Amino acid sequence: MDDTSYDVRIWRKFEVYKGKRKTTHTVRWSVGGKRFREPHATAALADAFRSDLVNATNNGEAFRLSTGRPVSWAQEEDAVPTWFAFVCSYVDEHWRATSAKHRQDRARILTDATEALWSSEAGKPDSDLLRLALQRHAFNTAHRSSQRSADLDQALQWAATHTVPMDALMHPPTMRAVLTRITSKKDGTRTAPSSAVKAKRVLSHVLDYAVECGHLPSNPIALVKWSTPVTNSQVDRHAVPNPAQARALIDVIAGRQPSGPRLEAFFSTLFLAALRPEEAVNLTWADVVLPSLKGEEETERWEEPDAGEDWGEIIVREVAPDVGRRWTDSGYHRDRRQPKGRPEGATRTVPSPPRLTRILRRHRQEFGDGPGGLVFFGVRGRQLDTGVYQRAWDRARSQALTADQQKTPLARRPYDLRHACVSLWLNQATNPAQVAEWAGHSVHMLLKVYARCIDGRAEVDKRQAAKGFDGF
């Protein structure tokens, strides 16, 4: 055939180009003196492509002068991408538009899905090593080309050549296997309903993008009769501490050096203003409005102040969830973004009751301003670390609660202080619309989430309802 040649030369090293948005690895080879180039999104994909070229030459195959590929290969435009190659391109396309937390969750979910889509188990690396390679490198645009161990590199090379083509997902049993895997833990037990719903949502978005790219005729999830587990978004009332329990926990924390005195105001803000931990750690004094101190002496921190006095305000502008530096654009552990459920630039104003106002005032007098004006910061002068306040909370729980209480969900997380605050607001018959605004919820979501925590008002509500029938 005039269009073929056995004169093939394949370059050993890739040509690497590092751009602003992504890095490409280009395989170079020549057929009959004519040079060809094939760029790839990852070194693993480039190495897999080069290995296929080498194997073809070792097998004595002829190459086409027009395409540079072995005669036995189909034309590139007719080839269906593998699941691995497609997911890498999907992650790259959607990287910049997603939060760091979603990037992390998405990589984990897609790693789970990949475990159900191996085309062969031959030569498969250790499962934990393979998961690490996929989750931290292959499905992480920022770190896909970062330096890694030889074992991780080999695992990626194996994964790049051992996933099914995309059209295999149109086979219902294959799709069912994927859905089962992403909604199960490593030991095979089912994940929490909320986790299962999120996993299915991520997978569906990936497959919708595959349809958009022309790799699938339709979203194959529709081919499977798969019911998403029913989620329970309501707060467990047994996890919500009452005021006495919250005070006991915070008192234990305040008495422990060296971090305790600094953390007292932090946990008090969660309980008395319903801030989320990721909101409180990023709070600056510029967004805390405290009235001037009246009188010569400060009251005790838990003493009831005069009604109507010493109310302040806290403005929540930006949150900083801790997701790890591998997933943030800044390279820091915390990702800074707008408050949950709010458009960019929106804020939320929360009242600071007199108790909290006095705690915050004393906190500033004792510790001053943190870096960048932060209200809460560690003993080393850095933004408060999640591990620091979580360890303090765990120790306080073991001391402030009884042995039986420690076995229950009661105050298991610092976040439960926020739940306690919102529950108390509602139990005091505060206008739900106002509580929703303070908490950063819609009224519908507020009542849905806290329905079981509105306790102790049944008799009051019945008497109030009965007044409507006076005169009957």
pLDDT digits (tens, 9 = 90+) for 182-224: 999 888 888 888 889 999 999 999 999 999 988 888 899 988 8
Last residue of a domain, one of 78, 100, 126: 78
Any domain includes 145: yes
The mean per-residue pLDDT over the stretch 138-162 comes to 91
Percentage with pLDDT > 70 across the chain? 86
| Between residues 185 and 139, the one the model is more confident about | 139
Tokens representing residue 186 in the block: 């490593």
pLDDT in tens, 272-320: 999 999 999 999 999 999 987 655 444 455 555 444 578 999 999 988 8
Planar angle of CA 330, 104, 143, nearest 5 degrees:
55
Regarding whether 371 and 336 lie in a shared domain, the answer is yes
Regarding whether 102 and 65 lie in a shared domain, the answer is no
Regarding whether 128 and 41 lie in a shared domain, the answer is no
The mean per-residue pLDDT over the stretch 29-47 comes to 85
Regarding whether 433 and 385 lie in a shared domain, the answer is yes
pLDDT value for 76: 46
Any domain includes 303: yes
Any domain includes 404: yes
Could you tell me the sign of the dihedral formed by the alpha carbons of 287, 290, 292, 298, in that order? negative
State the total domains in the chain. 3
Any domain includes 269: yes
pLDDT in tens, 51-89: 989 999 998 888 887 678 888 875 444 467 899 999 999
Regarding whether 103 and 60 lie in a shared domain, the answer is no
Last residue of a domain, one of 189, 223, 257: 223
113-127, 136-150, 427-441: segment of lowest average pLDDT: 427-441
Regarding whether 87 and 61 lie in a shared domain, the answer is no
Regarding whether 211 and 91 lie in a shared domain, the answer is yes
Q: Which residues contact 251 (CB under 8 A, 6 or more apart)?
A: 400
pLDDT value for 307: 46
Nearest to 414 by CA among 261, 269, 256, 316: 269
Regarding whether 265 and 171 lie in a shared domain, the answer is no
Last residue of a domain, one of 78, 102, 127: 78
Contact assessment for residue 67 and residue 83, using Cβ atoms and an 8 Å cutoff: no
The mean per-residue pLDDT over the stretch 138-143 comes to 93
Regarding whether 354 and 382 lie in a shared domain, the answer is yes
CA distances from 98 to 36, 92, 330, 342 (A): 36, 11, 14, 15
Cα–Cα distance for residue pair 472/468, rounded to 1 Å: 9
Regarding whether 325 and 269 lie in a shared domain, the answer is yes
Any domain includes 230: no
Question: For residue 468, is pLDDT > 60?
Answer: no
Cα–Cα distance for residue pair 268/281, rounded to 1 Å: 13
The mean per-residue pLDDT over the stretch 149-159 comes to 92
The mean per-residue pLDDT over the stretch 111-118 comes to 95
Any domain includes 472: no
Contact assessment for residue 323 and residue 102, using Cβ atoms and an 8 Å cutoff: no
Any domain includes 469: no
Mean pLDDT of the chain: 85
The mean per-residue pLDDT over the stretch 9-28 comes to 83
pLDDT value for 328: 86
Regarding whether 300 and 408 lie in a shared domain, the answer is yes
Any domain includes 466: no
Regarding whether 351 and 308 lie in a shared domain, the answer is yes
The mean per-residue pLDDT over the stretch 165-193 comes to 89
Tokens representing residue 281 in the block: 């750690």
Nearest to 157 by CA among 299, 50, 305: 50
Residue 26 belongs to what domain range?
4-78
pLDDT in tens, 327-340: 888 888 888 777 76
| Between residues 67 and 471, the one the model is more confident about | 67
pLDDT value for 8: 94
Half-sphere exposure of 152 (CA within 13 A, CB side): 16
What are the backbone dihedrals phi and psi of residue 6, each rounded to the nearest 5 degrees, phi first? Answer: -105, 0
Question: For residue 260, is pLDDT > 70?
Answer: yes
